[in-house]
Amino acid sequence: MLHTINKSPFSTDSLETCIRFLQPGDPVLFIEDGVYAVQQANRFSETLAGVMKNNPVYALGPDLDARGISNIVEGVSSIDYDGFVDLVVEHQVNSWL
């Protein structure tokens, strides 16, 4: 199951809540303001590292560019809208609003 997160981890509890329900192997895709989670060296770096131990992590490239985030955590895959579609084709979706 694909989990999408569209909120900054600083402003809402979306990321931290989602994490509690994640199953090992489930891919996580950060979109919209959610992409701030994958910027290097912020307060949530450790949280993200924890997620990456058991789950593949993606971030939507156009949303990263829009926010000027180029230094993303190693191991996070930046994908475009086509890549988003591919993930949806492969998995059922759980959009954490």
Contact footprint for other proteins (CB under 8 A)? 1, 6-8, 10-11, 13, 17, 20-23, 26, 31-33, 36, 39-43, 45, 61-63, 65-70, 80-82, 84-86, 88-89, 92-97
Strands 77-79, 57-60: parallel, antiparallel or unpaired by DSSP? parallel
Q: Assess 43 for contact with a second copy (CB under 8 A).
A: no
Interaction partner, residue 78 (a second copy, other proteins, none; CB < 5-8 Å by kind): none
Q: Is 54 helix (H, G, I), strand (E, B) or coil?
A: helix
Q: Quick check: helix, strand or coil at residue 4?
A: strand
* Distance of alpha carbon 16 from the chain centroid: 12
**Amino acid residing at 68:** G
The nearer residue to other proteins, 52 or 91, going by C-beta atoms, is 91
Q: Determine the Cα–Cα distance for residues 86 and 74; give it in Å rounded to an integer.
A: 22
- Within 10 Å of residue 54's Cβ, how many Cβ atoms? 11
Q: Does 10 sit near a second copy (CB under 8 A)?
A: yes
Region of 8-16, 52-60, 64-72, 86-94 interacting with a second copy (CB under 8 A): 8-16
Residues that bind a second copy (CB under 8 A): 10-13
